[in-house]
Chains A and B, each alone.
Chain A
Amino acid sequence: MKNLIYTCFAVLILAACSSNESAKNALPIYGNREPVTKTVNGKTVTDTIYQTIPKFSFIDQYGDSITNKSLDGNIYVADFFFTSCPNICPVMHRNMLKVYNTFNKVGDFKIVSYTIDPKHDSVNVLKQYAEKLGVKDKNWLFLQGKKDETYKLAKGYMVQARENVHDGFFILVDKQKRIRGSYLGTDPAQVDKMIEDIKTLQAEPQQHIAQ
Protein backbone atom coordinates (compact mmCIF):
# COMPACT_ATOMS: atom_id res chain seq x y z
CA MET A 1 0.00 0.00 0.00
CA LYS A 2 2.75 2.37 1.03
CA ASN A 3 4.57 1.59 -2.18
CA LEU A 4 1.52 2.39 -4.17
CA ILE A 5 1.25 5.80 -2.53
CA TYR A 6 4.89 6.52 -3.27
CA THR A 7 4.48 5.51 -6.88
CA CYS A 8 1.40 7.65 -7.10
CA PHE A 9 3.32 10.67 -5.81
CA ALA A 10 6.21 10.02 -8.13
CA VAL A 11 3.90 9.88 -11.12
CA LEU A 12 2.14 13.05 -10.03
CA ILE A 13 5.40 14.93 -9.62
CA LEU A 14 6.64 13.77 -12.98
CA ALA A 15 3.39 14.69 -14.64
CA ALA A 16 3.46 18.11 -12.97
CA CYS A 17 7.02 18.64 -14.11
CA SER A 18 6.35 17.66 -17.65
CA SER A 19 3.31 19.91 -17.96
CA ASN A 20 5.40 22.77 -16.56
CA GLU A 21 8.01 21.89 -19.08
CA SER A 22 5.69 22.19 -22.05
CA ALA A 23 4.29 25.50 -20.81
CA LYS A 24 7.82 26.82 -20.56
CA ASN A 25 8.60 25.62 -24.07
CA ALA A 26 5.57 27.20 -25.68
CA LEU A 27 6.66 29.93 -28.04
CA PRO A 28 5.53 33.49 -27.41
CA ILE A 29 3.17 35.26 -29.80
CA TYR A 30 4.59 38.59 -30.94
CA GLY A 31 2.97 41.79 -32.10
CA ASN A 32 -0.13 43.72 -31.12
CA ARG A 33 -3.11 41.99 -29.71
CA GLU A 34 -6.57 43.21 -28.91
CA PRO A 35 -9.37 41.67 -26.94
CA VAL A 36 -12.73 41.40 -28.67
CA THR A 37 -15.95 40.51 -27.02
CA LYS A 38 -18.62 38.74 -28.92
CA THR A 39 -21.77 36.86 -28.14
CA VAL A 40 -21.79 33.14 -28.67
CA ASN A 41 -24.99 31.23 -27.86
CA GLY A 42 -26.27 34.10 -25.77
CA LYS A 43 -23.05 34.24 -23.68
CA THR A 44 -20.52 37.04 -23.85
CA VAL A 45 -17.00 35.71 -24.49
CA THR A 46 -13.73 37.55 -24.84
CA ASP A 47 -11.33 36.47 -27.51
CA THR A 48 -7.89 37.78 -28.40
CA ILE A 49 -7.09 38.90 -31.91
CA TYR A 50 -3.37 38.62 -32.60
CA GLN A 51 -1.34 40.52 -35.14
CA THR A 52 -0.97 38.49 -38.33
CA ILE A 53 1.07 38.83 -41.51
CA PRO A 54 -0.73 41.23 -43.90
CA LYS A 55 -1.99 40.18 -47.33
CA PHE A 56 0.50 40.22 -50.19
CA SER A 57 0.80 39.11 -53.79
CA PHE A 58 4.26 38.47 -55.24
CA ILE A 59 5.95 36.36 -57.96
CA ASP A 60 8.21 33.40 -57.15
CA GLN A 61 11.39 32.16 -58.88
CA TYR A 62 9.32 30.05 -61.26
CA GLY A 63 7.21 33.03 -62.35
CA ASP A 64 4.16 31.85 -60.42
CA SER A 65 2.01 34.15 -58.36
CA ILE A 66 2.32 33.63 -54.60
CA THR A 67 -0.03 35.26 -52.10
CA ASN A 68 -0.47 34.99 -48.35
CA LYS A 69 -3.14 32.37 -49.21
CA SER A 70 -0.58 30.16 -50.95
CA LEU A 71 1.13 29.71 -47.60
CA ASP A 72 -2.03 28.59 -45.78
CA GLY A 73 -1.50 25.49 -43.69
CA ASN A 74 2.26 25.97 -43.48
CA ILE A 75 4.61 27.03 -40.77
CA TYR A 76 7.14 29.25 -42.51
CA VAL A 77 10.26 31.33 -42.04
CA ALA A 78 10.65 34.65 -43.87
CA ASP A 79 13.63 36.88 -44.54
CA PHE A 80 14.51 39.90 -46.67
CA PHE A 81 17.63 39.89 -48.86
CA PHE A 82 18.95 40.67 -52.33
CA THR A 83 21.07 38.43 -54.55
CA SER A 84 23.91 40.91 -55.05
CA CYS A 85 24.27 41.65 -51.33
CA PRO A 86 27.94 41.10 -50.53
CA ASN A 87 27.98 41.24 -46.75
CA ILE A 88 25.40 39.45 -44.62
CA CYS A 89 23.30 37.58 -47.19
CA PRO A 90 25.77 34.77 -47.92
CA VAL A 91 25.94 34.11 -44.18
CA MET A 92 22.16 34.25 -43.78
CA HIS A 93 21.55 31.85 -46.62
CA ARG A 94 24.37 29.49 -45.62
CA ASN A 95 22.51 29.20 -42.30
CA MET A 96 19.07 29.06 -43.94
CA LEU A 97 20.26 26.20 -46.12
CA LYS A 98 20.65 24.17 -42.93
CA VAL A 99 17.02 24.96 -42.02
CA TYR A 100 15.91 24.00 -45.53
CA ASN A 101 17.78 20.70 -45.41
CA THR A 102 16.41 19.92 -41.95
CA PHE A 103 12.74 20.34 -42.90
CA ASN A 104 12.66 19.82 -46.63
CA LYS A 105 11.14 16.37 -46.40
CA VAL A 106 8.58 16.96 -43.63
CA GLY A 107 5.91 18.97 -45.48
CA ASP A 108 3.81 21.84 -44.06
CA PHE A 109 6.97 23.93 -43.85
CA LYS A 110 8.27 26.62 -46.20
CA ILE A 111 10.92 29.29 -46.42
CA VAL A 112 10.13 32.61 -48.06
CA SER A 113 12.87 35.06 -49.05
CA TYR A 114 11.71 38.46 -50.30
CA THR A 115 14.12 40.43 -52.44
CA ILE A 116 14.37 44.13 -51.60
CA ASP A 117 15.93 44.79 -55.03
CA PRO A 118 13.27 43.61 -57.53
CA LYS A 119 14.80 45.70 -60.31
CA HIS A 120 17.97 43.62 -60.38
CA ASP A 121 16.46 40.44 -58.96
CA SER A 122 14.16 39.48 -61.82
CA VAL A 123 12.39 36.12 -61.81
CA ASN A 124 15.23 34.70 -63.86
CA VAL A 125 17.95 36.04 -61.54
CA LEU A 126 16.08 34.59 -58.55
CA LYS A 127 15.75 31.23 -60.30
CA GLN A 128 19.47 31.09 -61.02
CA TYR A 129 20.26 32.09 -57.46
CA ALA A 130 17.96 29.41 -56.03
CA GLU A 131 19.41 26.73 -58.25
CA LYS A 132 22.99 27.65 -57.44
CA LEU A 133 22.11 27.58 -53.78
CA GLY A 134 20.78 24.06 -54.29
CA VAL A 135 17.03 24.76 -54.13
CA LYS A 136 15.03 23.08 -56.88
CA ASP A 137 11.53 22.88 -55.40
CA LYS A 138 8.84 25.14 -53.99
CA ASN A 139 9.72 24.64 -50.35
CA TRP A 140 11.99 27.68 -50.46
CA LEU A 141 10.39 30.52 -52.37
CA PHE A 142 12.28 33.55 -53.61
CA LEU A 143 9.74 36.29 -54.11
CA GLN A 144 9.78 39.59 -55.89
CA GLY A 145 7.15 42.31 -55.96
CA LYS A 146 6.95 46.09 -56.05
CA LYS A 147 9.54 47.84 -53.95
CA ASP A 148 7.11 49.89 -51.85
CA GLU A 149 4.98 46.85 -51.19
CA THR A 150 8.02 44.88 -50.12
CA TYR A 151 9.14 47.59 -47.72
CA LYS A 152 5.62 47.90 -46.33
CA LEU A 153 5.30 44.15 -45.93
CA ALA A 154 8.60 44.08 -44.01
CA LYS A 155 6.92 46.19 -41.33
CA GLY A 156 4.24 43.52 -41.09
CA TYR A 157 7.00 41.03 -40.29
CA MET A 158 8.41 43.55 -37.78
CA VAL A 159 11.73 43.91 -39.64
CA GLN A 160 13.52 46.72 -41.47
CA ALA A 161 13.79 46.94 -45.23
CA ARG A 162 14.45 49.91 -47.45
CA GLU A 163 16.68 50.88 -50.39
CA ASN A 164 19.70 48.54 -50.22
CA VAL A 165 19.22 48.03 -46.50
CA HIS A 166 17.67 45.15 -44.66
CA ASP A 167 18.36 43.55 -41.32
CA GLY A 168 19.32 39.90 -41.05
CA PHE A 169 16.40 38.51 -39.10
CA PHE A 170 14.61 35.23 -39.77
CA ILE A 171 10.94 35.52 -38.80
CA LEU A 172 9.08 32.39 -37.73
CA VAL A 173 5.38 32.41 -38.65
CA ASP A 174 2.83 29.85 -37.48
CA LYS A 175 -0.11 28.35 -39.38
CA GLN A 176 -2.36 31.15 -38.13
CA LYS A 177 0.13 33.63 -39.62
CA ARG A 178 1.19 34.95 -36.24
CA ILE A 179 4.83 35.83 -35.54
CA ARG A 180 6.29 33.29 -33.12
CA GLY A 181 10.00 34.04 -33.23
CA SER A 182 12.73 36.33 -34.54
CA TYR A 183 16.32 35.15 -34.92
CA LEU A 184 19.52 36.76 -36.14
CA GLY A 185 20.11 34.87 -39.38
CA THR A 186 23.84 35.51 -39.30
CA ASP A 187 24.29 33.71 -35.97
CA PRO A 188 24.45 29.91 -36.28
CA ALA A 189 23.50 29.48 -32.59
CA GLN A 190 20.29 31.49 -33.04
CA VAL A 191 19.48 29.58 -36.20
CA ASP A 192 19.92 26.28 -34.33
CA LYS A 193 17.52 27.64 -31.71
CA MET A 194 15.06 28.43 -34.50
CA ILE A 195 15.29 24.85 -35.78
CA GLU A 196 14.34 23.64 -32.29
CA ASP A 197 11.51 26.18 -32.10
CA ILE A 198 10.11 25.03 -35.45
CA LYS A 199 9.92 21.48 -34.04
CA THR A 200 8.13 22.85 -30.97
CA LEU A 201 5.70 24.67 -33.20
CA GLN A 202 5.08 21.55 -35.30
CA ALA A 203 4.19 19.69 -32.12
CA GLU A 204 1.82 22.40 -30.94
CA PRO A 205 -1.82 21.22 -30.92
CA GLN A 206 -3.69 22.48 -33.97
CA GLN A 207 -5.89 25.44 -33.22
CA HIS A 208 -8.44 26.85 -35.58
CA ILE A 209 -6.75 28.41 -38.54
CA ALA A 210 -7.45 32.08 -38.74
CA GLN A 211 -8.54 33.92 -41.91
Chain B
Amino acid sequence: MRAFLVICFFSVAATVLTSCSEQDLEYKRAYTNGSLVYQQHCQNCHGNDGEGLSALIPPLTDSIYYKKNSAQLACLIKNGSSGLMIVGDKAYTDKMPPSGLAPIEISQVLTYIRNSFGNKHGIVSVDEVNKDLEGCN
Protein backbone atom coordinates (compact mmCIF):
# COMPACT_ATOMS: atom_id res chain seq x y z
CA MET B 1 0.00 0.00 0.00
CA ARG B 2 2.74 2.35 0.99
CA ALA B 3 4.68 1.47 -2.13
CA PHE B 4 1.60 2.17 -4.22
CA LEU B 5 1.15 5.59 -2.61
CA VAL B 6 4.75 6.49 -3.23
CA ILE B 7 4.52 5.43 -6.88
CA CYS B 8 1.26 7.29 -7.25
CA PHE B 9 2.76 10.43 -5.75
CA PHE B 10 5.79 10.33 -8.03
CA SER B 11 3.85 9.67 -11.16
CA VAL B 12 1.47 12.55 -10.44
CA ALA B 13 4.42 14.82 -9.68
CA ALA B 14 6.14 13.70 -12.88
CA THR B 15 3.07 14.41 -15.04
CA VAL B 16 2.57 17.82 -13.50
CA LEU B 17 6.21 18.67 -14.01
CA THR B 18 6.44 17.45 -17.60
CA SER B 19 3.16 19.04 -18.62
CA CYS B 20 4.34 22.25 -17.08
CA SER B 21 7.58 22.20 -18.99
CA GLU B 22 5.75 21.15 -22.15
CA GLN B 23 3.57 24.22 -21.85
CA ASP B 24 6.63 26.26 -21.14
CA LEU B 25 8.33 24.91 -24.22
CA GLU B 26 5.27 25.61 -26.34
CA TYR B 27 5.18 29.18 -25.09
CA LYS B 28 8.88 29.69 -25.73
CA ARG B 29 8.60 28.33 -29.25
CA ALA B 30 5.61 30.48 -30.08
CA TYR B 31 7.31 33.54 -28.62
CA THR B 32 10.58 32.96 -30.50
CA ASN B 33 8.85 32.30 -33.82
CA GLY B 34 6.57 35.23 -33.13
CA SER B 35 9.52 37.57 -32.77
CA LEU B 36 10.68 36.53 -36.26
CA VAL B 37 7.21 37.06 -37.72
CA TYR B 38 7.17 40.45 -36.02
CA GLN B 39 10.53 41.48 -37.48
CA GLN B 40 9.43 40.49 -40.97
CA HIS B 41 5.86 41.78 -41.04
CA CYS B 42 5.28 44.37 -38.36
CA GLN B 43 8.46 45.98 -37.08
CA ASN B 44 8.83 48.54 -39.89
CA CYS B 45 5.55 50.13 -38.88
CA HIS B 46 5.24 49.44 -35.17
CA GLY B 47 8.95 49.86 -34.34
CA ASN B 48 11.68 47.81 -32.65
CA ASP B 49 10.15 48.39 -29.25
CA GLY B 50 6.51 48.49 -30.32
CA GLU B 51 6.63 52.27 -29.99
CA GLY B 52 4.60 53.03 -33.15
CA LEU B 53 5.15 56.27 -35.08
CA SER B 54 3.76 59.55 -33.74
CA ALA B 55 0.04 59.78 -34.55
CA LEU B 56 0.42 57.68 -37.70
CA ILE B 57 0.90 54.21 -36.24
CA PRO B 58 -0.27 53.15 -32.75
CA PRO B 59 2.13 51.65 -30.20
CA LEU B 60 1.72 48.02 -29.13
CA THR B 61 2.16 48.81 -25.46
CA ASP B 62 -1.46 49.20 -24.38
CA SER B 63 -2.39 46.04 -22.43
CA ILE B 64 -5.85 47.44 -21.75
CA TYR B 65 -6.54 47.74 -25.47
CA TYR B 66 -5.54 44.10 -25.88
CA LYS B 67 -7.73 42.96 -23.02
CA LYS B 68 -10.76 44.81 -24.36
CA ASN B 69 -10.26 43.66 -27.95
CA SER B 70 -8.77 40.25 -27.29
CA ALA B 71 -11.16 38.33 -29.56
CA GLN B 72 -10.71 40.79 -32.46
CA LEU B 73 -6.90 40.79 -32.60
CA ALA B 74 -6.57 37.71 -34.84
CA CYS B 75 -8.97 39.20 -37.40
CA LEU B 76 -7.18 42.56 -37.23
CA ILE B 77 -3.85 40.95 -38.02
CA LYS B 78 -5.29 38.77 -40.78
CA ASN B 79 -7.39 41.41 -42.54
CA GLY B 80 -5.73 44.65 -41.52
CA SER B 81 -7.68 47.68 -40.44
CA SER B 82 -8.64 51.18 -41.44
CA GLY B 83 -10.70 53.93 -39.92
CA LEU B 84 -10.76 55.34 -36.43
CA MET B 85 -9.03 53.38 -33.69
CA ILE B 86 -8.46 54.62 -30.15
CA VAL B 87 -5.32 53.28 -28.50
CA GLY B 88 -4.23 54.63 -25.14
CA ASP B 89 -6.33 57.83 -25.39
CA LYS B 90 -5.05 58.71 -28.85
CA ALA B 91 -6.91 58.46 -32.15
CA TYR B 92 -5.41 56.71 -35.17
CA THR B 93 -6.97 56.70 -38.61
CA ASP B 94 -4.37 55.24 -40.94
CA LYS B 95 -4.40 51.92 -42.69
CA MET B 96 -2.89 48.67 -41.54
CA PRO B 97 -2.64 46.30 -44.54
CA PRO B 98 -3.79 42.63 -44.43
CA SER B 99 -0.87 40.49 -43.31
CA GLY B 100 -1.43 37.31 -45.32
CA LEU B 101 -0.30 35.30 -42.26
CA ALA B 102 -1.46 31.73 -41.53
CA PRO B 103 -3.32 31.06 -38.23
CA ILE B 104 -0.23 29.48 -36.68
CA GLU B 105 1.83 32.58 -37.49
CA ILE B 106 -0.91 34.82 -36.13
CA SER B 107 -0.87 32.87 -32.85
CA GLN B 108 2.92 33.22 -32.73
CA VAL B 109 3.02 36.93 -33.42
CA LEU B 110 0.18 37.52 -30.94
CA THR B 111 2.06 35.52 -28.32
CA TYR B 112 5.06 37.70 -29.05
CA ILE B 113 3.42 41.13 -28.88
CA ARG B 114 1.22 40.24 -25.90
CA ASN B 115 4.33 39.30 -23.92
CA SER B 116 6.68 42.06 -25.07
CA PHE B 117 6.88 45.85 -24.75
CA GLY B 118 5.70 45.64 -21.13
CA ASN B 119 2.76 43.29 -21.81
CA LYS B 120 2.30 39.99 -19.97
CA HIS B 121 -0.46 37.69 -21.14
CA GLY B 122 0.90 34.20 -21.78
CA ILE B 123 0.46 32.07 -24.90
CA VAL B 124 -2.17 32.74 -27.55
CA SER B 125 -2.91 29.26 -28.93
CA VAL B 126 -3.71 28.33 -32.53
CA ASP B 127 -7.07 26.96 -31.35
CA GLU B 128 -7.94 30.34 -29.90
CA VAL B 129 -6.87 32.07 -33.11
CA ASN B 130 -8.89 29.67 -35.28
CA LYS B 131 -11.96 30.25 -33.14
CA ASP B 132 -11.54 34.03 -33.29
CA LEU B 133 -10.98 33.94 -37.05
CA GLU B 134 -14.41 32.35 -37.54
CA GLY B 135 -15.93 35.53 -36.17
CA CYS B 136 -14.19 37.92 -38.61
CA ASN B 137 -16.44 40.16 -40.62
Contacts and interface: CB of A to CB of B under 8 A. Distances in A.
A45 to B, nearest CB: 51
A84 B56 contact: no
B44 A133 contact: no
| Most chain A CB inside 10 Å of its own CB: which residue of B54, B55, B57 | B54
A29 interface: no
Contacts of A93: 53
B95 interface: yes
B87 interface: no
A90 B97 contact: no
A69 to B, nearest CB: 31
Contact of A84 (B47, B57, B95): B95
Contacts of B94: 132
Contacts, number: 29
B13 to A, nearest CB: 50
B76 to A, nearest CB: 15
Nearest to B46: A90
Contacts of B47: 94
B133 interface: no
A91 B44 contact: yes
Nearest to B97: A86
B97 A132 contact: no
A134 B44 contact: no
B44 A129 contact: no
B37 interface: no
Interface residues of B, number: 11
Chain A interface residue bracket vs B: 10 to 19
A35 to B, nearest CB: 45
Given A87-B44, A88-B44, A90-B44, A129 B95 contact: no
Interface in B76-119: 94-95, 97
A90 B95 contact: no
Contacts of B36: none
Contacts of B55: 131-134
B45 A86 contact: yes
Contacts of A131: 55
A133 B57 CA distance: 9
Given A86-B45, A90-B45, A91-B44, A97 B54 contact: yes
A101 to B, nearest CB: 11
B37 to A, nearest CB: 16
Interface in A125-170: 129, 131-134
B95 A133 contact: no
A88 B44 CA distance: 7
Interface string A68-95: 0000000000000000101110110110
16 contacts: A86-B45, A86-B97, A87-B44, A90-B44, A90-B53, A90-B56, A90-B57, A91-B44, A93-B53, A94-B53, A97-B53, A132-B55, A132-B56, A133-B53, A133-B54, A133-B55
